[in-house]
Amino acid sequence: MKTYKDFESIERDLKILNLERKIALEEIKHLKYEYQEAVKPPHWLQTGIDIMGKLSTLLMLKKAFKK
């Protein structure tokens, strides 16, 4: 534990700790954004899902008209 001799050094260390806390918070925000971007499905995957949906609709219509 650090012992302080005057209030200026206490205030200086408190300012440093506050800035370190703010930096850590910004780093966490940045990591959250990177994680969200990494988890998003790629564009081609969404396109593939759309195509599969259209094909399945066409197949259902084809079966309905065969009967």
Q: What is the largest CA-CA distance in the chain?
A: 93
Distance between CA atoms of residues 39 and 16, nearest Å: 35
Supply the range of the domain harboring residue 35. Answer: 7-66
Task: Let me know if residue 1 belongs to a domain.
Answer: no
At 44 the pLDDT is 64
Angle at 58 (CA atoms; ends 53, 62), nearest 5 degrees: 150
Task: Let me know if residue 20 belongs to a domain.
Answer: yes
- pLDDT, one tens digit per residue, over 19-67 is 999 999 999 999 998 888 777 767 668 777 889 999 999 888 888 887 6
At 43 the pLDDT is 62
13, pLDDT greater than 70: yes
At 63 the pLDDT is 85
Look up residue 11 and give its amino acid.
E
Task: Let me know if residue 2 belongs to a domain.
Answer: no
**How many domains does the chain fold into?**
1
